[in-house]
Amino acid sequence: MSRSQLVYWSANEYVRRFWPAFIAFPVSGILMLVLMPSQVGIGLGMLMILWPLSIPARSILITGRAAKRVLSPTRMVAEGEHLYFITTPMDHNYRVNIKSVRDVIQRKEYVVVELWKFKLIYVPLESFQSPKDIKKLQKFTGVN
């Protein structure tokens, strides 16, 4: 998985989860420009209109720490009460308790393991041998 792929997937999930804000903020910004012709109104209105354009930058910042972990070849192992992510070289290994998994969602190119603290782990679809493996992961974590 490349860094640009990780940023793209993060931006995609961000838009999917917060799409009402992507409509409300620019519309509110336009209303501010029309109804508040002062310098403050114009400044805030422009900021609200341009806010959705900051998503790629936010995705880069959000994925910085995770990128160190998953940019190297990674295996996911489900065992006991945890999901283990084993990297090569072995310096970025980590584990996730299955109780902290909120949902497992299959997308077009990847599977999202969503944790309760709104953290997301992306697993490329080619990491799974078949769709049955994704169902096994969902069953293991206790989500449908």
pLDDT confidence band for 94 (50 / 70 / 90): confident
In angstroms, the first-to-last Cα distance of the chain is 26
Query: Structural domains in the chain?
Result: 3-64 (no CATH), 72-141 (2.30.29)
Average pLDDT over every residue of 53-80: 76
Structure tokens that stand for 112 in this block: 């999202």
pLDDT reported for residue 87: 75
- % residues pLDDT > 70 (the chain): 92
Provide the pLDDT for residue 144. 65
Question: What order do you get walking across the sheet with 74-79 strand by strand?
Answer: 74-79, 82-87, 94-97
Residues 8/12/18/22 CA torsion (nearest 10 deg): 80
User: Which residues make beta-bridge pairs with 110?
Assistant: 124
Residue whose tokens read 């697993």: 123
pTM: 0.70
What 3-state DSSP class applies to 111? strand
